[in-house]
Amino acid sequence: MTDPLVIFTPSGKRGHFPVGTPILTAARQLGVDLDSVCGGRGICSKCQVSPSYGEFSKHGVTVRDDALSPWNSVEQRYDDIRGLPKGRRLGCQATVQGDIVVDVPPESQVHRQVVRKAAAVRDIIMDPATKMYFVTVVEPDMHEPSGDLERLAQALKDQWQIEDLHAPLPVLRKLQKALRKGNWEVTVALHRGSLDDRHQLLDIWPGFHEGRVYGLAIDLGSTTIAAHLCDLRNGLVLASAGVMNPQIRFGEDLMSRVSYAMMNPGGEVEMTAAVREAINALTVQIATEAEIEAEQILEAVFVCNPVMHHLLLGIDPVELGQAPFALATSDAMALPARDMELTAMNDAAQVFILPCIAGHVGADAAAVALSEEPGKSDDLVLIVDVGTNAEILLGNKTRVLACSSPTGPAFEGAQISSGQRAAPGAIERVEIDPATKEPRFKIIGSDLWSTDADFGTPQITGICGSGIIEAVAEMRMAGILDDKGLIGSADQTGTLRCVETGRTHAYVLHDGTQAGGPLITVTQGDIRAIQLAKSALYAGARLLMDEMGVDHVDRITLAGAFGAHISPKHAMVLGMIPDAPLDKVTSAGNAAGTGARIALCSVAARRDIAQVVRQITKVETAIAPKFQEHFVNANAIPHATDGFPNLMG
Ligand code: FES
């Protein structure tokens, strides 16, 4: 007679198993994703399933059509003490009695998919490096003199098929007490190597430990440090927080920080200490916000540009300031957090740093590649991560190219006469009527469009990066600005908003005399700063297109927190990005941060990106003769020679 058929949903995996086979065993043999922390002892309840074919027994009573075993004493005890939801069974206790369809609910799937909350949906397949295991360890014996760690390693091998266990000193110090207090049953947090299969013991608790473990995905930028606290069981983000990078006091942009290290012996040590201190404070802050203990944070993944990468690791960045821009290492790094003095998280916490692509193209660009996967695209996609330095990727299934371009801080509102960072009070959207040349604008913190004359206009404090881009593009479309970027006089433009400022003109965007707030003008110097920034961005993209041998791209993805706020139309009117159908220009949100989260949640992704980065062709803008030519032509608005047919529609 054939053994009963067991079908799992939603995976559809199926097989025949003898009567009496535990559902958890059947799931493992078929490769069905069914969780277990206690190893089938009926303690953790992570293995819950719902039989969906026929009825099933409860409280020892077998009913007709039952296809699972009656409740046993372990399952009954669990239900009595903690309660099992209606219709649920413990997969490790219920056994096959007949043909059965078993549904594995999402919360019982280890590798369940977490959907990113961004415009383009991207699934994160959970495959975390750090997991919890419940294990029973053999007691020591006068005749068997092995150490507690060796017996724990053997128990993990026997019960979980985990080999190659290592214990750092901070956990080794807890080991003996935990084993004895738990009466030789303990829960351990194990970290599987990001780049090899060694297992590190990260923490240990007596008995079955219900607590959760967490990880940080950190996007270490030159201006801000952003962190997401994720639950390592399901990848969900519990809290997000950000702080200014305190290295700003050593230099606004990357090269000025490299210069600081060059000019001041020991300067790199000061900058390393500053950023580590900020990360420690951010760790405490985010743990407090999520109401967890910072020591429950067992992992951190970092993405950053090459200079930040070196300064985080305590490596002198001076080589990155001069050709040939050699990195100390471009490989992914996996190391203990305590080696980097990241002391706020767990003593044994592990850090993973994504690989850099080249001396100017960092782990942040690798994180964008991980998130956006240009190498899996049929379309030729241009990905632009806009920040103080723009990281640019161009590619499809055939080939992926990368470069970085020094856009400077103008896109973040710096170097602009009324510029400010994106914060409440900053003008972020601008429209100018082409007939009257009158502006209206939106400020951060208000949904209303305002004009100078609006009584009660919320307090305006300045203009941020997306605001200045829209302002310049609108000025060009309204005829206030010519294609060379020169602001016309009142006579030339027909508006008194164009005022003389010495030998040039400025456009009054907000006249503070009517409704309050400061006088905000767009000056010729502002236009120049934006022209330089956008020319650098465009030239970098064109250089990659030259290298690829194409004169257009199928789609464009704007990444970065700032990229999320840029209007595609205004970016193209300005000539920041090459021509493309406007509906093919999309925002990916903070793609580097998403890449960090993916790496935090998936060892497979870490190994994947380490391979992918090796296949990306790096293009060095600093030594490419064509870069200068593209840069000069891109100074015009939108461009001296390149056409923008998609703007004409
Ligand atoms: Fe832990 Fe079933 S595996 S209760």
Q: Which atom of ligand 1 is nearest to the CA of 90?
A: 2
Report the alpha-carbon distance of residue 296 to residue 347 in Å, rounded. 10
Contact between 90 and 36 under an 8 Å Cβ cutoff? The reply is no
Q: Which residues pair with 127 in a beta bridge?
A: 602
Distance 36 CA to ligand 1 centre (A): 5
Contact between 299 and 352 under an 8 Å Cβ cutoff? The reply is yes
**Mean pLDDT of all residues in 116-122:** 45
**Mean pLDDT of all residues in 151-169:** 93
Residue 391 tokens read as 């990281």
Q: Which atom of ligand 1 is nearest to the CA of 45?
A: 4
Task: Give the structural domain span for 460.
Answer: 418-522
Residues with CB under 6 Å of ligand 1 are: 24, 36-38, 40, 42-47, 90-92
- Domain end, chosen from 324, 353, 382, is at 353
Task: Provide the pairing of β-strand 130-136 with 185-192.
Answer: antiparallel
Instruction: Answer whether the bond into residue 638 is a cis peptide, omega within 30°.
Output: yes
ipTM over 0.90: yes
- Whether residue 264 lies inside any domain: the answer is yes
Report the alpha-carbon distance of residue 419 to residue 521 in Å, rounded. 10
Q: Do 142 and 79 fall into the same domain?
A: no
Test site for ligand 1: of 78, 79, 90, 209, most ligand atoms within 8 A of the Cβ: 90
Give pLDDT tens digits for 284-311.
999 999 999 999 999 999 999 999 999 9
- Whether residue 359 lies inside any domain: the answer is no
Q: Give the CATH number, domain containing residue 154.
A: 3.10.20.880
CA end-to-end distance (rounded Å), the chain: 71
Between 78 and 279, the more confident residue is 279
Q: Do 332 and 219 fall into the same domain?
A: yes
Number of domains the chain contains:
5
Q: Give the CATH number, domain containing residue 72.
A: 3.10.20.30
Per-residue confidence (pLDDT) for residue 478, from 0 to 100: 95
DSSP string, 462-511: EE-HHHHHHHHHHHHHTTSB-TT-PBP-HHHHT-TTEEEETTEEEEEEE-
Is residue 457 scored above 70 in pLDDT?
Answer: no
Distance 93 CA to ligand 1 centre (A): 8
Q: Scan for tokens 């607590």, then name that residue.
A: 211
Cα–Cα distances (Å) from 613 to 309, 320, 365, 366, 621, in that order, read: 16, 19, 10, 7, 18
Give pLDDT tens digits for 512-540.
776 677 889 999 999 999 999 999 999 99
- Domain end, chosen from 522, 557, 589, is at 522
Distance 28 CA to ligand 1 centre (A): 13
pTM score, whole prediction: 0.81
Least confident of 137-146, 175-184, 405-414: 405-414
| Apex 343 CA angle, 341 and 345, nearest 5 | 135
Distance 189 CA to ligand 1 centre (A): 17
Instruction: Answer whether the bond into residue 374 is a cis peptide, omega within 30°.
Output: no
Instruction: Label residue 121 by pLDDT band (50, 70, 90).
Output: very low
Distance 537 CA to ligand 1 centre (A): 54
Q: Which atom of ligand 1 is nearest to the CA of 134?
A: 1
Instruction: Label residue 455 by pLDDT band (50, 70, 90).
Output: low
Distance 91 CA to ligand 1 centre (A): 7
Dmax (CA) of the chain:
102
- Domain end, chosen from 497, 522, 547, is at 522
Q: Which atom of ligand 1 is nearest to the CA of 38?
A: 1
Cα–Cα distances (Å) from 436 to 205, 424, 433, 472, in that order, read: 71, 28, 6, 16
351 phi/psi in degrees, rounded to 5: -120, 140
Q: Which atom of ligand 1 is nearest to the CA of 48?
A: 2
Top mean-pLDDT range of 100-114, 411-425, 532-546, 610-624 = 532-546
Element (H, E) at 335: strand 333-336
Sequence-distant (≥ 6) Cβ neighbours of residue 310 within 8 angstroms: 268, 316, 317, 320, 327, 328
